[in-house]
Every structure is written in structure tokens, then in C-alpha cells.
Structure 1
């Protein structure tokens, strides 16, 4: 039987239970609302009953078997935590109880925490109306709640939809002059749940209490707020509902395209999944039901104080204990007999601080035998034996960023409860592309076994649940996938890179911009679209000896330009390009050429996997080089596009809600101490610093694979691949003197005050290119973004993007200077400092398409969480010159050798537009001419004369 969307015929109302209560008091109904009976149900999409395997009887049987299997348990005890901890060993268990808890209307207050004013109503219902008003070509947006339950959490969000623009609330008048709501609402709300009767009851009550004067309850108009929101139910499991939505089940039947989808997961059920399971579920859900730009609003419990968690789950009134023990009554109904005797079990729980989870158990009060109907063998339970009932995970900010990164989701915004900050709501989306962090996957326990401290391991790399002990503990998980950082990239990584490149070149550059030069010192935009595939083909053919796919394209697209700023007649060697627009190849021809180039690359991978082609380190290095070259040029193209008013926002990403973000940023800055904290000095002793790594491409001929494989991890291991550009090698030691550095980079607000104090507002040489005039004496500048210019009220805390000269002048005005190469490397290596790294939560890898305020290092759950600089490269005062041991690349001779001229200064770190593979590699050295104003680069002020000698700061552990 196929799933059907039904509008049921009138049926007798469900009998109300003694504890059933309305969402809000009846007095809250809109004045003058028509009296509408409850004979009709909300339209239901019935998926659960459509399959025999999902019938209530089949589900009951599966639940019964799961309970029996859990009671039989395993042969070995599981230690929930550290196998060497005597405290954890006391909680060892080998039985668990898969149980579907009976719903209780007397749930304790903390189980309804998302229905209060602190979060549910925060910021006008978490911008529930943002982006949901639709347009004439797009149908209504869909708001789908997973596990809707009582709707007490959701009501605040739904009420916020009253703030939709009036134009979206279409009404008509009938012949009698009475307003009738439109049949096409702005938003369709879908409550998904397994309990059909609860769906009918709660949606009916929601309609009765929230309907407007023009809303009726019939099979065509089950709406509230005068037609703005239509109410619907989906009777289904999560998987059924996600698959149905993903296959277009909610698409309008006629004409319009389906509107935006936003899923809600507001309950606490995500806490029942460990962090790896949660990441896997979110990833699978995203792949199944979200399109690029679709979103998910999810509520998360933080890792709060152990005593607070313990009190919530083991309250003085015994409410939690009764709730858990009620599960035994339900289990007896499922098993068909009183298998669990009243009084033979007690509730036993603890908060496992190490794992960040609450654990609930049944503990046997005596030795007993369980006789399950239909089972030949009895189950013998010892006195004091534990049966695990459920776990509820709590997440630190670091951990939830790790989870979301593994799931391939991008954080749009987060809201926290006021004051205590115990709970968070995360608005995340499936982006058009996602670069996973290559820094996540080492695992803190593995690092500690290698001799690092807990603080070094936890603060610098992955969170607890993303590692593998290999022991018998509850966390003996399969080692997570490690993303290639410095070796041959995988096919998946290639495909992600092309998605990113296409987003920038095909969605942000309109046709009229193809022949535009956003920066006079560079080529037209079309050149870069052709340069990328041409460079790939040229470099690979140089190693393989094969012919170029298109020699003409190789000629005109081989290399871009970088003129000397003090004499533009002097320039690096570059391609001779067409001088007239009509002489350039057509965009379609370039894209077709790109496809042929990539077929060649993918063919190499396929031949290596089958053994038809050998792979040596020279070819692997070249493929890595052309891959990373795309990432570097994508950032170059973006800072060019930032200078043009014709640039479009990136498709497949949610535009920022600037006013809301600005409020959050200002509040967060004030909470940590404001400018005093940002300009606080971090002191460093004189110390040696290791720069670079050992990677001699002249040794590549010695390494070739001996065993074919389609796994790049295997190939990189055989090749001992640890690639970098020529100016990253060899490893060498540089010495710093004692110095002090400001905790955060120079901000837009600080620089604006500097211009005003020094009467430089009208000096074109002093005004950064990242700003644009606003035409107001009180607010003279706005800051450029890919979404258009934003006011200083939004961007004043962002790190300033400016030329090295402008930043050096600012530093000098404070009696300071820019750091040297060695000093900045020393600063960035400090494990407790505001690192620019590739770990989730840092503003790199297109986490945002703009800078954000820097985040200072802080403590959370006793662990130092590294900060970040807001998403900019950082200038140094050190010139980019040849050094002892430098050798130019065998394969790309001019990469850095053409620029070792003393006219370029070194920049380190990464920006918001830098991929994680570059951001996480501490050996990377970038360079620009000091007056060059366009890069996503900032700086921090350092001092000599304010330095106090203090203990050395801890260094980051070596990267795995």
C-alpha cells in the first residue's frame, strides 16, 4: 500500500485523559475567533501504517525481542568509562534494556525546558520567520518537526511566524464580507510522530488556541494566524518521514517549486546517541532530506556542572525515579507477563563526567530469576547487578562542533539560555559544499597514550568520543576516518573542491562580470575559470609525459599576473592573454575543457586502483599540488570579487541575520571583558621556534607504491607522503627575543577610531580596501562582504583586513609593531592561545563567508579551549627572502622563487576562505607585497618594551 496524504473524515473526538492539558489557556484564544468544533482532524500523511513491517503489531514484536536480547546480554562486562578506573569498574554491566518509555503527562520541568521563555521565545522565536515568507515562484516553506510530542516546545517558534510579512498572509473576502484565509499559506508546519492519536489531539488543540478570526477548520483550511501557517501531521518513523520529504513528498502539486525546508529536533532524544552515532544520524538525515540551503534547528544540553546534572536526573521528589521505573511496567505489558517483580529493582544512576553523559540503570535488589514467556531458558540476575536503561549525552561547544563537522553541517547561528548558558539551540544547514576538518580525527585518548597531557590532547584536537582505545571499555569505537591533509587527495575531496569552485565561479559571478577586472592588478574573472583546469593539465602532463588536452588553453591560461606595486611595468612571468573580449574562449567551452581534464585525473585514480598504472611520489605530489592550487586561487578570486558591487552571494548558503548576530557578538565581547580583554598582552620568553618541515621533492623518485589500492590512505602510507610547497622546507630553527602580543588582532572598530583620532578619515591611502564609503559623517564607512556592505555596528569587532603598511602604521601609533615570522609562529603555536587552526569552530574553510569577532581562549569543563582570530591571515614584518636550505620546486619552479625579492612580506595562518588542509598545516607560508590592500589579512600588535619575563607558554602538540 502506497503512503497517502489524507484529510480524514469526521470522527469522534479522542477521549481526554485526566492529565491532558491545552498548550495554553483557553483565555488565550484570539478575541472574536469563530467557534469551531473539533470534529475534523488536521491533514495527516500516513506512512507508518502503510507498510506491514511497520504495523503496531510488528513494532511491538520487535520491541519485545529487543528487550529479551538486552536482558540476555553479552558474555563480557562493559565498563562505562576508563577500564583502569576503579570508580568506573563499579558500574560495569553486561545487560541493557531497550525500552520504549511510556509517555507521562507528569514529566518533570527539565524535560520541558525548551518550552520556557529563556530559549523558546529568545530573539523573537529564533528568527522563525526569517526566509520563510516565500515568493511567487516558490511554494510555501516547510517546517517539519521530528518527534513533535506535546508541541509545548514548538509553540514559541510557531507563534513567531505571526511576524511574517503581511504580503505573505493572503486573505480574501467572501460574498458576505467575511475574510477567508488563502489556500496557499506562507508556511506548512508538519508535526512528525509515531503516536497518531497524540498527533490528532495536539494539532487540534494548537488550532483551537492559535487560530485567527479568518481561520476555519476544514479539510481545505486547517490554518492558524489568518492563513499564514497550515497545520499538518506526519504519522511515521524518523526514517520514513525523512525519506518521504527527501523524495519530494511535500512538493506543491501544481506549478510552484517546493519552498525551503527546515527540520526541528527540539526534544532530548539526540542525547540518547553517543557523539559518533549523533554525527552519523545527522549526516544520514542531511543526505536523505536536506537540499543545499535547507536547515535543521536542534536543541542540545551542555556539559553542565555534575551536581546540576545529577540533581536533574535524581531529583528530591523522586519524579525521575518514578519515570524510569515506569518502564518496567511497560516492559511487562510488552513481554506478556510480570517478568519484573515490583520492589525487586531500584533506580540507580550517575553522571559520568569523563564521557559527558548521564547513565540510568536498574539495579537488582536481590538474586532473582526472570522467566520470559516463550523463552526456553530463564535469565538469572545476581543481587546488585546493573541493567543499563538509557544514557543521555551532554555536549561541550567543542564536542558539538566536532559532531556537526563530522555530519557535514554548517552552523548558521546558535542561541543559549540567558544567564546560566546550560542549553543551546543550534541552527545548522546542509551547505552547498563542506570541507571537513582534517584536524578532528586523531582522538584525545590516542594522544594521551603518546604522552600528551589531557589538556594538550583535548584542547588541541578531537573530543573524547571520536577516538578508539581498542580496549574493552564502552568507548572501544572504530577509529574515525582521517582526512588527507598533506598527501594525495581522495576522489571525494576532489569533488568537494569542484563544488566549492563552482559555487564561487558559477553562482557568484554573473555573466556581465566575466570580462570585469575587480582589481586592476589582476586578470578578468574569466581567466581564472580557465586557469584552474589548464594548470591541472599542464602540471600533470609535465610528470606523465602525456599531451595537453588543449594546447591553446594551456598557452593563454597557464599563469596569472602579480605586478610590482611600485613599478607596474615589472611583473612575474605570465601568460599572454587575449586583449579583446570577443577573443576569449566561451564559458561553455572552458567548462567542457575542465570536464576533460578531470576525466584524466579520475582515470589516473582508477588505473592506480586496478594496477594498470604505477604511482610514484612525483605524480602523487603533483596531483596534491594542483588540488591545493585550486584552493589558493579560490581565495584569490574571492578577495577580487569582494571589490565589485556586481558580485552575487554564494548559492546554497543561508545569508547571515546581521542584526541578531551583532547583538550576540556585542554581548559575548562584553562578557569576556571587551576591548581590555582583546588588547591584553600575552607574554613570551625568548625561545627557539621550529619553522617548516623536511620534504625534499628531489627524493620523490625513491618512493612508489608496491600494492594497488583505491584507498588514498593506503597510497599515502606507501609513499610516505607529507607534502608542502617549496618554501615550507626544510625544517629550521629561528630565535625570538622576549615579546608581548595583544590577544586579538586589530579590529575594524579600533582602526576606525585611529583614523578619526589622527584625522585620516579622508586619506585614501589610510582607508582599507575592505571598507567602502557610507556617505555619513557619523558613520563614514561600511565593511565589504559577499552579501553586500554591512555597517560598523555589525563589523566593528571583526578583525580588520588591510595592507601590511596600513596595519604597521596603526601598530606604530600605539608604540608597537607587527610581529616577525618567528614571533607570530611562536604565538600561533601556543596551545592555549587564539590559534588559527582547522579544527571545527574556527572561522576557516567557509564556516562563514565573512570574518567574525575573534574568540579568546577560555576554559570549559576544566579544559582550555583554544580561540581563533576571527578568520584572517596575519601579516608579519619579515620579508619573503631566500633562506639557508631553500630549494625551488622541481615541478613548479616559479611558485615561490619568483617572489623571493624582498618586496613581499610573509603572512601566516588562514582566513575564512582558506581550506582546512592549508589552515591546519603550520608550515604554510604565504606572502604579499606590503602595500597590497586586498587580501583577507589582518595583524596583531606586538611590543618589545612591555614584555615581562614569565614562564614559557605550552606549545601545541605535534600534528598527527
Structure 2
């Protein structure tokens, strides 16, 4: 086998640091030795033996996944990629991937990173000959490998492999920081990261996995003491003074490996590198930690990837559901979905991620004058409208001039929203107030230059104000303009999926669509008892001079809070699917298909479903929520002898049926809807209600944006709640209300039904 070895070590620095780390760890009251001491040449050989033990289920579980899914995983790896494995080991598992790549005839370079040169050679030599896979061994630490990969060309696609649940050897915060470092330093948008993670399994199963009856694991751990003597080149430790001790900490979800001191002993470290002689006294039964093996719940995996700003591609578990491989990728932008995402005033970092999303969508447009939705302006308007709205509000707040060219404010301030049943831009009764429509739009480069100047204007605002002490009135401007742009990201996407000329998003992994063979269980009817709930919240725009910045902001139709009594009702546990709506069409005379579908052969009821990646077959999207107009939802409900929920009913259901094990598909977790769950609160699409958007006691239209809600109190708009796959997490707050015309067919909005009382 032809391969090469590259020495990427920073030897002297790492050896001195390791010696200091050992002494410092043993000098603490809670003693520890760095895990790296376990992995000398002999230690790696011992660990390889461990991976063949039946008790050590992790390796066989990972092999089980790869035997069944290697081809599937390699489908995502582009030709010409570099594959970098962190801690490659014996390559028994990796060989399954390399063979699959070879079978697919993809030219890749595989980099095996490991600590020991001899072990690298032993692993690479017996692999056999490849025609398409080039093999390179990297001799060094994780840090060395990161530095090496950081120097790859920016346009080079990379796939990072981190298998064997090596993530478990790091503290949870350390693991998060490590994943974040990989994402920041190595990965470009579109690069892949495959991570193997052990679950929080049965404690007895975990315990015996690290304490086998043949004591192979014990010998692996005890060899670390021999390695310490080799590191210092001194006979510091006598193994007979210690024994292997292990336990599983179920509360933390962590297996713990220790050296237990048999009798009082003193360790003597001779002077080295200008360090004086060191003596460390150890007491009988004292424990010295050498290794942790963290196990992960689904929530903990999500938190790990969230911190690393990585998006899921797919995940696979072994046949016994003990272990998972998670294929993730670095997206072109990432919206934080944790508690911090709901703070009202956005940070400048959040703005910059939002701008990345807007720019990503702009780059998907191949013809800026296309008008894929007749009720909307062409794309060019929205490219100018988003920065213009920001600029207008900043200028008005600071009593300054608009950004040049100032006339952009007159043509880009507000778009059209005609009555879709009788559109007439010249009749104010049939179209909301809107900006002047020019005979010719400005050219794209001029608009993009204007956009960049407006962004710099906003950055200057943040530079000039401490975010913790800025006036609440300015905080409202920043919040309002941020949410405005976030909402337009979604409306821009409505247009893109309707446009046959649009390109897929750059830097996003294109799904490998496969038919959904799973039948979704019939939606259960969940009973909800009578109760009184609160809608909205108390955000008084006129009190911005006195209210604290910490209070949440909201649009005018969210305030003031109001009590509503909900009578008992029963509601479906999940939204209606594409498959269910297709069955409705097949069994009735109603042949009006949703605008989220594309007809292939309507006579045979053959339709495809629109996505940003192009149309997908109904067999793929059959279990996705159907995206449709409210009028279509009402016709479906009538056929099903059911009804749409009211706003307060749907809000009540969301409040009462939150599920910690369900991660809603919002904020570009995926770039498309996903299969419904048996009990699903929200995600993939907004949901229609039967509630008309209208005024209510206490409503007062906004002074800053008076037409935001009031212009749509026309009896033709209905409230929608929840959020879609393209909804920014900041908008997923309990009080937020969205709305659309009842017949508007393009919104990413689904429906779940209630039993008629």
C-alpha cells in the first residue's frame, strides 16, 4: 500500500506542557492525570484489544451503523474532498467508509491523524490498494491536526471524522469548545463533520464495558503509569502501589476511571527544565482520575452541536439503539436556538448572521427581475427594501439624513399587498399603501453598495452605544428592524421556492432524498379541558422612556395582554400531511392542489413538492406537513368533518403539550419540512387558525410602524401561529402573531384540525 506520513508535531512544546500538566494534576486536592498518558504505543495496542471485547459495545455498534450506512454517508462526500480523521486508530471502522468511497469512484485524500508514528504505519500498511483514495498519515495531536487542516485552500471541501465516541473523553464544556474550534478553524460552509456519540445507556451495560472480566481495560489504564515514567525518563511510579478503580456516575452521565492508591506513598520528580525537585504525597485509598467517558442524551447532543453552530444532515443509530453517528455540516449562517435567542435586543453578532442569511438568499436569485408570485414585487425590490427599512428607521430616530441615494427611501420603503381575489394596484381599497413603483429599478450593484453602507451605519450605532445601557427607544428600533429583516428572509424564500430559475443555497448540504417508507400513525385527538389563558404581553411603546430595557418587545398586535377563556376541545396531535391531502383530492371532486406542489400528471394524481433544492417526489414528502392556503385548509376540514382551531385553542395546545424530546424544525435546522411526529407541537410550517386578524379591546396601533397591523383589519386575513423551518428563532416567542390572506397559497403554513363540538 502506498501512503505517506507527515510529521506535524510541535514536539518540545507539547512534552514540557505534558510534564507540567502531570505534576499540576497530582498536586491538587482532587487529583488527576491527563488522559493522553494512556496512549503511547503499547497503550494504543491495548486499546485496540478493547475494541474487540464483546463487553465494549461501542465499537461493534459503530461498525453496525457503518456496515449499513457507509454508502449513504459517502453519498454526501463530494469528489475531490479531503477526509480528516481525528484519532484514526486501527482504521477497522474507517475502512468501511474508504471502501464505499472507492466503490463510488470518488477521488479523495484521506488524512489519518494519530499520536504515534508506528501505530499509523501499522494501520495504513494493511489497507490494500486504492485507485481513488490517497492515504496520508498525520503524526501529531488534535491541536497539530487542527493547525494543519486550517491551512487547506479555502475552497477545498473537507469531511471531518471524529468517531469512537472520543467526544466523551472531554468534559462537556471542553467538548463544546473543541467542536466550536473545529467549526471555526477548519470548516467552510458545506463542510461535513461526522461524530460518533455513545448514549446514556443502562448503567450496568456501561460499567462492564469499561471493566471487563479479563481485565484488558484495567491493563490499558495501568499502562499509563509506565508511560509517565517514560515521559519523565525517571522511575517515578511503581505500579504495585496502585490499582484500577472505575465507576459510572449516572447523574452526570459519565464513566470515571481512576488510579486508586493502595498504601501511603510519596512520588519524587527529579529536577527538569529548571524546575526544582518535586515530592507529592499520596494517601491510601486516594483516587487519581485519568479518564472520563461522557455519555450523551439527545438534548445533550443538540446542545453540543448548537454551541458549535453545526446543523444536522442525518443521524443513524445501531440495531440495538445504543450508539449514534451524527452527520453534521457547517451552514452558511447559523441562528442560535437556545434561551439567549429570545432576548429582544439583537447583538451585532446576531445581525451579522442575519445578513449572511439575506446574502445567501440573494445569491440564489439568477434573475433579479423575476416575479414568481404575481402579488409581490420582483426580487429586486426586496433586495433594496430590507436595508431601506433599516435606514429609514435609523435616520428618523437620530433625526439624520437617509443614506445616499436618498430617493431609495421613496421606492423601497413599503411593498405591495393587493387583494388576491381582485388585485388592483391603482385602487387603494384593493391594495395597501405602498411606495412609488419606478418605471425602472436601480441596478443590482448600486443596491448592494447601498445595502453595505446601511449596514455600516448600523455597526456604527453599536460601536457608539453600550448595549446594556442603550435607551429602550433605541432598543426598540434595533429589535423592530431586526425582526423585519428576519421576517423577509422567510417571505423571500416563499418566492424562491416558486421560482424555477432559482439556484440551491450555496454552502448547504443538498439532501439525498429517499422515499419515506414509514407510514405515519393516524393523528390522535388530544382532549384539552376548559381554562383561561393569557394572550399577548404588556409592552407599552409609549413608555420607552421609563420602562427598563430588559422587558421584551412586541409588535402592536401582541399588546396589551388579555385573558381569554377556552372551552373544552379536542385537537389533532400533529399537522395534516401531504399524503393525507392527496388522499382527500383522490376521493373528492376537489382537484385544487396546493401551490407548494408541482403537477407532473394530475390525471394520475402525480405531484412533486417544491423545495429550495428543486422539486422532490411525493414519495419523499408524503409525511411532511402540507403547506396550503386557509381556504384549502377549510375545504379539507369540511371533508374530514372537522374544523380549524381558533387562535386561543392553538395557543392553549402549544402551551400544554410541550415535549422535551421534540426539537422543532425552525430556524433552518433543515432547509425543508420534515416528517411529522406522532405528537408535534410546532415546526416545519406555521399553522392556520380560524381567527380573523382584527382589533380587540386595548389594541393601539404602533406609532413607529402604524400600518404594521391596522392596514390588514379588512376581514380577509387570518391569524397563523407557530413557525416554519425558515422562521428566525427570535420570532418563536409565545406572544407573536402572524397573519395572511385566507386565500394566499404561498406561505409555509400547514394546519391541524379540531373535532366539531
TM-score range, shorter chain: over 0.9
Residues 114, 266 of structure 1: 8 Å contact kept: no
Residues 51, 59 of structure 2: 8 Å contact kept: no
Residues 129, 160 of structure 1: 8 Å contact kept: no
Q: Distance between the aligned counterparts of 1:528 and 1:425, measured in 2?
A: 40
Matched, 1:386 2:287: yes
Q: Which of residues 20, 27, 44 in structure 2 aligns to 1:72?
A: 27
Bigger CA drift: 117-126 or 827-836?
A: 827-836
Query: For residue 675 of structure 1, what is the aligned residue in structure 2?
Result: 521
Bigger CA drift: 848-857 or 553-562?
A: 848-857
Matched, 1:310 2:207: yes
Q: Distance between the aligned counterparts of 2:317 and 2:643, measured in 1?
A: 38
Q: Which of residues 164, 169, 188 in structure 1 aligns to 2:109?
A: 188
Residues 688, 736 of structure 1: 8 Å contact kept: yes
Q: Which of residues 187, 194, 216 in structure 2 aligns to 1:290?
A: 187
Residues 879, 903 of structure 1: 8 Å contact kept: yes
Matched, 1:772 2:598: yes
Per-residue deviation, 1:236? 2.7
Query: For residue 94 of structure 2, what is the aligned residue in structure 1?
Result: 154
Change over 3 Å in CA distance of 1:616–1:324 after alignment to 2: same
Change over 3 Å in CA distance of 1:655–1:795 after alignment to 2: same
Per-residue deviation, 1:944? 4.3
Q: Distance between the aligned counterparts of 2:73 and 2:310, measured in 1?
A: 19
Q: Which of residues 611, 619, 625 in structure 2 aligns to 1:793?
A: 619
The within-5 A match list for 1:825-904 is 825-833=651-659, 841-856=663-678, 867=680, 869-904=682-717
Per-residue deviation, 1:98? 4.7
Change over 3 Å in CA distance of 1:114–1:501 after alignment to 2: farther
Change over 3 Å in CA distance of 1:545–1:772 after alignment to 2: same
Question: How many residues are paired up?
Answer: 738
Matched, 1:593 2:593: no
TM-score (norm 2): 0.93
Query: For residue 50 of structure 2, what is the aligned residue in structure 1?
Result: 107
Residues 526-546 of structure 1, C-alpha deviations (whole Å, 9 max, x = no match):
000011111111112222211
Per-residue deviation, 1:868? 5.0
Matched, 1:943 2:755: yes
| Secondary structure of 1:350's aligned partner | strand
Change over 3 Å in CA distance of 1:731–1:529 after alignment to 2: same
Per-residue deviation, 1:689? 1.2
Per-residue deviation, 1:337? 4.3
Point out where structure 2 has 5 or more consecutive residues left out of the alignment.
425-429
Change over 3 Å in CA distance of 1:610–1:189 after alignment to 2: closer
| Secondary structure of 1:530's aligned partner | helix
Q: Distance between the aligned counterparts of 2:472 and 2:467, measured in 1?
A: 18
| Secondary structure of 1:902's aligned partner | coil
Change over 3 Å in CA distance of 1:200–1:97 after alignment to 2: closer
Residues 114, 120 of structure 1: 8 Å contact kept: no
Change over 3 Å in CA distance of 1:487–1:112 after alignment to 2: closer
Q: CA RMSD in A?
A: 2.2
Bigger CA drift: 388-397 or 108-117?
A: 108-117
Residues 599, 607 of structure 2: 8 Å contact kept: yes
The within-5 A match list for 1:73-88 is 73-74=28-29
Q: Distance between the aligned counterparts of 1:151 and 1:813, measured in 2?
A: 58
Residues 73, 96 of structure 1: 8 Å contact kept: no
Point out where structure 1 has 5 or more consecutive residues left out of the alignment.
1-37, 49-53, 75-92, 134-139, 169-185, 212-223, 252-256, 440-481, 704-717, 858-866, 946-960
Residues 115, 153 of structure 1: 8 Å contact kept: no
Bigger CA drift: 811-820 or 621-630?
A: 811-820
TM-score (norm 1): 0.74
Residues 46-98 of structure 1, C-alpha deviations (whole Å, 9 max, x = no match):
322xxxxx22x654443232222111113xxxxxxxxxxxxxxxxxx444555
Query: For residue 427 of structure 2, what is the aligned residue in structure 1?
Result: none
Q: Which of residues 350, 358, 376 in structure 2 aligns to 1:522?
A: 376
Residues 607, 618 of structure 2: 8 Å contact kept: yes
Q: Distance between the aligned counterparts of 2:36 and 2:20, measured in 1?
A: 11
Residues 572, 898 of structure 1: 8 Å contact kept: yes
Per-residue deviation, 1:833? 4.5
Residues 799, 869 of structure 1: 8 Å contact kept: no
Query: For residue 127 of structure 1, what is the aligned residue in structure 2?
Result: 73
Matched, 1:640 2:500: no
Matched, 1:240 2:144: yes
Per-residue deviation, 1:842? 2.3
Change over 3 Å in CA distance of 1:242–1:43 after alignment to 2: same
Q: Distance between the aligned counterparts of 1:261 and 1:936, measured in 2?
A: 33
Change over 3 Å in CA distance of 1:881–1:542 after alignment to 2: same
Query: For residue 442 of structure 1, what is the aligned residue in structure 2?
Result: none
Change over 3 Å in CA distance of 1:306–1:831 after alignment to 2: farther
Matched, 1:508 2:396: no
